[in-house]
Amino acid sequence: MARAYFNETQRFRQWWMYLVYALVFASWVYTLIIMYPETQQEGGERASWVLIGNSVAIFAALFLLIRVFKLKTKIRNEGIYYRFVPLHFKDKLINPDDINTFEVRKYKPIMEYGGWGVKSRGKKYGKAVNISGNMGLQLYLKNGSKLLIGTQKPSAIQKAMEAMMA
């Protein structure tokens, strides 16, 4: 029977992301409003409505996509499961036997990995799967690769890793 040590689901909730999104959307709408009278004078009323409709649809789709993204992390006695929804269709499993060492550490998301999401930065930093913040579970695997899984619960994930590896 699988013993559960840790569960975490994270979503993009950074206020600044929504601010940037709103500013880009507002500037796009403003541009469309300015363009609309010009296209009407040229007899392009239908084209302008198609442009407006497509623009709104694209921004709505991007907003929904941001809302759908989430990182699920589970630590069980059989290993670490992680999944970056909707990019991963099923959980990825890291077996405890594949882990050389681990540490919970503070990291610099932009400097080390180029931001948040599913990132790969070569041998120096390895791969990162993160949503927000600057704390993560750094895994050093026996095959020489590195994986950082972001977390908002550093002390809980530390205890869960110690229990799983014992």
Q: What is the DSSP letter of 152?
A: S
Task: With a cut of 60, say whether residue 98 has pLDDT above it.
Answer: yes
Region 96-108 average pLDDT: 97
Task: With a cut of 80, say whether residue 47 has pLDDT above it.
Answer: no
Task: With a cut of 70, say whether residue 46 has pLDDT above it.
Answer: no
Helices 15-41 and 45-68 pack at an angle, to 10 degrees, of 170
Of residues 43 and 137, more confidence is placed in: 137
Domain ranges of the chain: 1-166
How much is the pLDDT for 59?
78
104-157 pLDDT per residue, tens = 999 999 999 998 889 998 888 999 999 988 999 999 999 999 999 999 999 999
Cis preceding linkage at 86, omega within 30: yes
User: Which one is the CATH code of 1-166: 2.30.29.30, 1.10.3720.10, 2.60.120.920, 1.10.10.10?
Assistant: 2.30.29.30
Task: With a cut of 80, say whether residue 89 has pLDDT above it.
Answer: yes
Sequence-ordered strand ranges (E) for the chain: 4-11, 70-76, 79-85, 92-94, 99-106, 117-120, 127-130, 135-141, 146-150
How much is the pLDDT for 56?
77
What CA–CA distance (Å, rounded) separates 143 from 140?
A: 9
How much is the pLDDT for 48?
64
